[in-house]
Amino acid sequence: MHIEQAASRDKSVRDRLPNRRPAISTSFERDGARFEMTAGFYPDGRPGEIFLNADRANSLLDFLMSDAAILASIALQYGASLTSSDTP
C-alpha cells in the first residue's frame, strides 16, 4: 500500500495576527453561567481570535470554553469562515 502526502500547494497557511491588534470584550450569561469573551481582529477587521472564560475559574466549564475558543481561533487563522456553508 502506498500513502501519498498532500502536495504543498494543498496545505493551508496560518495567517498570524499582528502583536498589537484591535479587540473587543464583552460579558454574557447563558443558562445561569456568566462568561467573559474577547475577540481580536486583523487590521482589515476580520476576526482572528476568540478568548472565552467562565465565571468559575479553573472549573470544567471554564476549561471547555477556553479550549473551544482556542480551536475556533486556530480555525479562523487558517481561513475558516464564520458563515454557514448552507447559507446561499
1 within some domain:
no
Long-range contacts at 21-24 (CB < 8 A, ≥ 24 apart): 21/48
Distance separating alpha carbons of residues 73 and 50, to the nearest angstrom? 6
- The pLDDT tens digits of the residues spanning 67-80 come to 999 999 999 999 99
Domain tally for the chain? 1
Q: Which domain holds residue 46?
A: 21-77
Compare 13 and 84 and report the one with higher pLDDT. 13
pLDDT band at 15 (very low <50, low <70, confident <90, very high): very high
